[in-house]
Structure formats: C-alpha cells, structure tokens
C-alpha cells in the first residue's frame, strides 16, 4: 500500500491510497488549492486511522477500532 498526492482535472490537489494490487482504495473527498493542505489532510488520516471507531450498519453497532478488531 502507498499514498499519492496529485492534481485532479481542475488542477486541485487531492490524495489517494493505493492498495497492494495498484487499485485506489480511498480518495480525499475534498480538493485543495495548496499541495500542503492536501498533504496535511493525508497525514491526519495516517495518524488517526488505526484508532478510528468502526461502525457496522448491518449489525447496527460499533465494533471498536482497527487496533482492537485485529486483536480478536
């Protein structure tokens, strides 16, 4: 997996996460005028992703975090 920062067709900065098969796994929902703002957004995702809560709509309940889900 790796991360990319790029300019879209409107010349706005975005980020995306590429999986091990070279497919886009996630993209920024916002576009940024400045590269630094897109990078800051991506760094926040990287910093907080493992501790983010997971909600399963099919079960209508919280499952915990990626950190706790991997332990089960």
8-60: per-residue pLDDT in tens?
999 999 999 999 999 999 999 999 999 999 999 999 999 988 888 999 999 99
pLDDT number for residue 66? 67
pLDDT number for residue 33? 98
- Structural domains of the chain sorted by starting position, each given as residue range(s) with its CATH number in brackets: 2-71 (3.30.160.160)
d(CA 1, CA 61): 29
* 27 beta partners: 16
pLDDT number for residue 60? 94
DSSP character for 33? S
From 62, 15, 47, select the one nearest 34 (Cα to Cα). Answer: 15
Model confidence, pTM: 0.75
d(CA 51, CA 66): 6
| Token pair recorded at residue 52 | 């983010």
d(CA 7, CA 10): 8
């Amino acid at each position: 997996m790796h991360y990319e920062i790029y300019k879209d067709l409107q010349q706005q900065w975005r980020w995306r996460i590429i999986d091990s098969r070279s497919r886009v796994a996630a993209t920024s929902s916002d576009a940024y005028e400045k590269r630094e703002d897109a990078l800051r957004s991506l760094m926040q995702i990287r910093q907080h992703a493992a501790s983010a809560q997971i909600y399963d709509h099919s079960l209508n309940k919280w499952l915990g975090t990626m950190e706790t889900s991997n332990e089960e």
